[in-house]
C-alpha cells in the first residue's frame, strides 16, 4: 500500500515504485522536510518515530544486519515487474498463506 501524494492520508494498492514524479504527474509533492515542518506546526507526531519504537527496531534488525555483513548472502533474483521470487510464494504456501491480491502491475513508462 502507498499513501496517495499530497497532504491527504489516503492509501492505494501499488507496486514498490519510488518514481512518484512518473506515477503522479501534476500532483504537488511536498518534500520530506515540508511535510515534517507542517507536522510540527500541527502538533502531529505521525511521521516521527518514537524512541521505544526506534530501540525495538535496532534490537530486531541488528542481528540481521550483522548476519548480512558477515555472510554476504546473494540476493534472490526475480523477473522485473513480477510479484517477487518464486521462493517467496513457496514460503507463503509452506505457511498456509494464499495471495488474493487484485493489484495488476503497470509499467511506469505506460502511465
Determine contact, residues 20/35, Cβ cutoff 8 Å. no
What is the reported pLDDT for 61?
96
pLDDT tens digits along 62-104: 999 999 999 999 999 998 878 789 899 899 999 999 877 777 7
What pTM was computed for the model? 0.46
Q: What sign does the dihedral 25-26-31-36 (CA atoms) show? A: negative
Determine contact, residues 108/17, Cβ cutoff 8 Å. yes
pLDDT tens digits along 7-51: 777 888 877 766 767 777 777 777 878 888 988 898 888 888 899
Amino acid at each position: 500500500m502507498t499513501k496517495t501524494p499530497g497532504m491527504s492520508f489516503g492509501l492505494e494498492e501499488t507496486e514498490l515504485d519510488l518514481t512518484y514524479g512518473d506515477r503522479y504527474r501534476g500532483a504537488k509533492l511536498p518534500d520530506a522536510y515540508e511535510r515534517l515542518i507542517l507536522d510540527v506546526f500541527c502538533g502531529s507526531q505521525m511521521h516521527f518515530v518514537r524512541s521505544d519504537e526506534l530501540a525495538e527496531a535496532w534490537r530486531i534488525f541488528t542481528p540481521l544486519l550483522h548476519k548480512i555483513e558477515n555472510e554476504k548472502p546473494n540476493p534472490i533474483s526475480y523477473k522485473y515487474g513480477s510479484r517477487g521470487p518464486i521462493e517467496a510464494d513457496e514460503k507463503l504456501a509452506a505457511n498456509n498463506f494464499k495471495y488474493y491480491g487484485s493489484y495488476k502491475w503497470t509499467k511506469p513508462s505506460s502511465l
